[in-house]
Amino acid sequence: MDTQISSTRALERRLGDWMRARLPFALAELVMFCLKQGWASLFGGLLLIGMTVTNRIWQADWPVARYDALLAYALGLQVLFLALRMESLREAKVILLFHLTGTVMEIFKVNAGSWAYPGDGVFKLWGVPLFSGFMYASVGSYMARVIRLFEMRFAPYPPFWTTMLLATAIYVNFFAHHFLPDIRLMLFAATVLLFARTRIWYHIGGNWYWMPLPLAAFLSSVFLWLAENVGTATRIWLYHGQGAGDWVSLAKMGSWYLLLYVSFVTVTIVVRDVLLPQGWHPRETPATSRTGSATLPPLSG
């Protein structure tokens, strides 16, 4: 992991120095932020490209179903990411967990009538293509990679057991609201109350910035909602009563907001070293100001 961070930082410094010599400082930092976000979400972006391309070219009489081809494509991407060390083995563990929990939710939701996968496929379980698990895994991939690429720290972080309890309650509510009262409003409030003080510290070039965690979750939910519209527009899945040309309801953004907390807590199971119970601020020294790094608790490999 240290080698990955060092290589990423060296490339970032060269690119950042090149842009800062040509752009205003604030614009250069924004461009670097967007580039690092794009690199962190590479797996998800490649999935969206695969979904879009197959929607345009796939024919119903082809010998391989589209969902099965997308499954092979996603598996190939995962192998490539590991082979090129774009993801570590510990990140792969959490991505596998995302795949399993996501597939379980998909099977339940599809059979409850919330949405459907209209295409055929050999590798489908109870109406759900196995490819769908990779859409959840892409969220896990993004979170694991963005924490590493931005060298994030979360402080002050609430007691870990409280975050696990919240994530479990959110996940259970996705199932239970079909039979019991929906408590998502209480869960929205709980996310703010629990994480209101938590700052996400992240690193760009030689500078540190922070953002409140609930704000980061909201902004991420907006982008996931946009990505979801790509999924429905390409007929990967459709909500009940939705046409392929219809926009996904804005209410689904709230679902993504809550699901992001489940995703985040799942990732922290294997990256506990970035969770700091006390308030934290990067302490610059003459030595670190030359290299662009700050005094940090070490990341374990």
Tens digit of pLDDT for each residue in 135-174? 888 888 888 889 988 989 999 999 999 999 999 999 999 8
Q: Is the pLDDT of residue 103 over 50?
A: yes
Of 116, 125, 146, nearest to 260 by C-alpha is 146
Number of helices and strands in the chain (H, E): 11, 7
Q: Classify residue 209 by its DSSP letter.
A: E
Are the C-beta atoms of residues 175 and 111 closer than 8 Å to each other?
no
SS3 113: coil
Instruction: Convert the pLDDT of each residue in 21-48 to its tens digit.
Output: 777 878 888 888 888 898 888 888 999 9
Instruction: Convert the pLDDT of each residue in 43-94 to its tens digit.
Output: 889 999 998 999 889 888 889 999 999 999 999 998 888 888 877 777 777 7
Are the C-beta atoms of residues 294 and 202 closer than 8 Å to each other?
no
Question: Structural domain of residue 149, as residue ranges?
Answer: 2-291
Is residue 300, in this structure, part of any structural domain at all?
no
Bridging pattern class, strands 207-212 and 199-204: antiparallel
Q: Can you tell me the distance from the alpha carbon of 265 to that of 189, in angstroms, rounded to the nearest whole number?
A: 17
Instruction: Convert the pLDDT of each residue in 236-269 to its tens digit.
Output: 877 876 666 778 888 888 988 999 999 899 888 8
* Averaged pLDDT for residues 123-135: 86
Give strand ranges (E) for 91-184: 115-116, 124-125, 128-129, 153-155
Are the C-beta atoms of residues 175 and 129 closer than 8 Å to each other?
no
Q: Classify residue 271 by its DSSP letter.
A: -
Q: Is the pLDDT of residue 291 over 50?
A: no
Residue 67, judged by CB atoms within 10 A of its CB (0-12, 13-18, 19+), counts as buried
13 compared with 106, residue with greater pLDDT: 106
Is residue 299, in this structure, part of any structural domain at all?
no
pLDDT attached to residue 232: 79
Is residue 276, in this structure, part of any structural domain at all?
yes
Residue 184, judged by CB atoms within 10 A of its CB (0-12, 13-18, 19+), counts as middle
Q: Can you tell me the distance from the alpha carbon of 91 to that of 100, in angstroms, rounded to the nearest whole number?
A: 15
Q: Classify residue 120 by its DSSP letter.
A: -
Assign 3-state DSSP to the chain and report helix, strand, coil percentages, each to 5: 60, 10, 30
Q: Which two tokens mark 209?
A: 């910035």
Is residue 301, in this structure, part of any structural domain at all?
no
Kindly report the number of other CB atoms within 10 A of residue 94's CB atom: 22
Is residue 239, in this structure, part of any structural domain at all?
yes
Is residue 129, in this structure, part of any structural domain at all?
yes
- Please count the structural domains in the chain: 1
pLDDT attached to residue 12: 64
Q: Can you tell me the distance from the alpha carbon of 53 to that of 47, in angstroms, rounded to the nearest whole number?
A: 10
Dihedral angle of Cα 266, 272, 274, 275, to the nearest 10 degrees: 90
Any residues with CB less than 8 A from the CB of 180 and at least 6 apart, and which? Answer: none
Q: Classify residue 150 by its DSSP letter.
A: T
Q: Is the pLDDT of residue 193 over 80?
A: yes
Is residue 267, in this structure, part of any structural domain at all?
yes
Q: Can you tell me the distance from the alpha carbon of 83 to that of 266, in angstroms, rounded to the nearest whole number?
A: 24
Give the least confident one: 110-119, 143-152, 202-211.
Answer: 110-119
pLDDT attached to residue 99: 82
